[in-house]
A and B are shown apart, each in its own frame.
Chain A
Amino acid sequence: MSTIEQELQLLKGLAISDKQAIETIYRENYSMIQSFVINNNGSADDARDIFQEAMVVLYEKSKDTTFSLNCQIKTYVYSICRRLWLKRLQQLNKYSTQVESLEETVFVEDEMEEHEKRDNDFTLMEHAMSKIGEPCKSLLDAYYLQKKSMQDIAANFGYTNADNAKTQKYKCLIRLKKLFFAQYKNA
């Protein structure tokens, strides 16, 4: 059983995506969620999906400085997973009776709303990214996501100098932006 300090330590680690912390949380909570999902009409794959989604929620929360966890990590993760799974069941029209639940839960409606919005944004960006094609995708990935320097990028992608790479990067960025905002207009 972890003490409060240990849990806070874990959350701090999670906020900076410390692998050890993520693994500990994963290890300590996964089987509980797995048996919950499997006992309620789901498969092991569903359980993995739901659990990883909940981990994302917890991760985002841990980065939020105004957030303070007023229950155990276990209870929080369980509550999130329970809500996510209920929603999934509803979507699949499998929702008939109340989901079997023996653990204590906390109120997580706000988190759900934020999560949905974030998930939506993520999908939109992913979709736009998947449409721009190469070399734009790798170029933007290297600069904005992997945070590589323009010099490294120029060398890796075979541009004669950093300025050329930069111009190309901006061209790509403008294209991505157009694709990204076009989805908003269509929606």
Chain B
Amino acid sequence: MDEIILIETVERYLSGEMTTQERAFFEDFRKNNAEVDQLVVEHAYFIEGLQKYGDLKTFKHTLQEIDAKLTEEGVTAVPALTGKAKVVNLWQKYKRNIAVAASIAGFISILTSGLMVTYSKKSGNEYYSQLVEKINQTNQELIKLNANKNNGVIIKPEVKVDYRATGFLIDGSGYIITNAHVLNKMKNIYVENNKGNYFSAENIYIDNVMDLAILKIDDTAYKTISNLPFTIKKNNADLGEEFFTLGFPRNEIVYGEGYVSAKSGSDGDSTAYQLTVSANPGNSGGPVINRNGELIGIITAKDSKADGVVYAAKAKNILMLVDQLKKDNIKYQHIKMPVNNDLKKLDRVQQVKKMEDVVFMVVGATNK
């Protein structure tokens, strides 16, 4: 309590709220008391720092707002690449060499992918445990209750729910990323958003090697979300990089945070990271978002023997996955990856609030 009174006095002194008499008394007191003098200097420095911090924070926020406005107007759009003629020239000049190189590369990649499948890590580690949750009857009832709460949204026919996992939008028109092992277990798939509305979804692409899959919401009740808040990081995350994740280990969205602990996954799998975070069945397919609001990975599995050892597929795999999908099916040419990052420089709570809208619970019946 003494400390509080002292601080209060110092603050009144610094802000000039004291009467002349009081001030003279305090200055005298300060002169004869080194400790108080020190406190005054320290506090003045600290308050100045705090105010500068507040000022800068507000300014940075204004910058973000202006940036968002200008992005919407297209002022900050990245100009298209120029200098096409040069590339064509080079191509013609080196066509033959490239063809030879490509065929060798092709051969080697077939060979290595063959080897990779043969020595696939995922079956190698007996403690590699995928995080899709088998749920019991009680949970199933809960989900039905939620569904019935929707007013205005068409209530879905009763769904049998045996498994639950997580997924998140990569295109606001309804494309959701989740794990392949999640969808392999399910049929009659539904996704549920944080408002408790749920929509039927179709499994449009599965890649078992990357353990990633794409769902498309095919429900008329679903309304397109125009701007996704995060971007996808193309480079590797750094060791020690902090992140948060959202997922559905329960029937409710759960937040978790941790750090990147290794740049490879189970048994040296270079397409994954090892993370330290708490994750449970149901977390599979959850987004891993760094402090800049970039997606760095997708939670896939954990080590059932070790505590907090979780594996996540690297985010750049999503880009490969979507490219493959576009190549395989012309119907999906229009998929657009998120480009504007609204999460940057926000504090964690705000970031989570924005992410909650794009993370979905993925549920379905046993696929037999």
Contacts and interface: CB of A to CB of B under 8 A. Distances in A.
Interface of A: 17, 19, 22-23, 26-27, 30-31, 34-35, 38, 44-45, 48, 52, 55-56, 59, 118, 121-122, 125-126, 129-130, 140-141, 144-146, 166-167, 170-171, 173-174, 176-177, 180-181
A166 B7 CA distance: 12
Contacts of A17: 58-59, 62
Contacts of A125: 49-50, 53
Contacts of A126: 53, 57
A173 B7 contact: yes
B231 A180 contact: no
Nearest to B78: A44
A180 B75 contact: no
Nearest to B292: A45
A47 to B, nearest CB: 9
A170 B347 contact: no
Contacts of A181: 42, 46
Interface stretch (B66-74, B140-148, B161-169, B182-190): B66-74
B56 A56 contact: yes
Given A22-B62, A27-B70, A48-B76, 4 more contacts: A17-B59, A23-B70, A145-B50, A145-B53
Contact of A145 (B54, B63, B70): B54
Contact of A180 (B49, B63, B69, B79): B49
Given A52-B63, A56-B56, A130 B347 contact: yes
Given A38-B78, A170-B8, A52 B67 contact: yes
Contact of B3 (A38, A130, A174): A174
A129 B54 CA distance: 11
Contacts of A35: 79
Contact of B52 (A22, A121, A176): A121
Given A174-B7, A177-B46, A45 B231 contact: yes
Contacts of B3: 174
Interface residues of A, dominant DSSP: helix
Contacts of A145: 50-51, 53-54, 57-58
24 contacts: A19-B62, A22-B62, A22-B63, A26-B63, A30-B70, A34-B76, A35-B79, A44-B78, A48-B67, A52-B64, A118-B52, A121-B52, A125-B50, A126-B57, A129-B53, A141-B54, A144-B47, A144-B50, A145-B53, A145-B54, A146-B54, A167-B4, A170-B7, A171-B4
Contacts of B76: 30-31, 34, 44, 48
Nearest to B50: A144
A52 B75 contact: no
A148 B69 CA distance: 28
Given A34-B76, A44-B78, A180-B46, A174 B63 contact: no
Contacts of B50: 125, 140, 144-145, 176
A30 B4 CA distance: 47
A23 B59 contact: no
A20 B323 CA distance: 42
B341 interface: yes
A45 B343 CA distance: 12
B85 to A, nearest CB: 18
B327 interface: no
Contacts of B46: 177, 180-181
A31 B7 contact: no
A122 B70 contact: no
Contacts of B59: 17, 56, 59
Contacts of B70: 23, 26-27, 30
Interface string B1-29: 00110011000000000000000000000
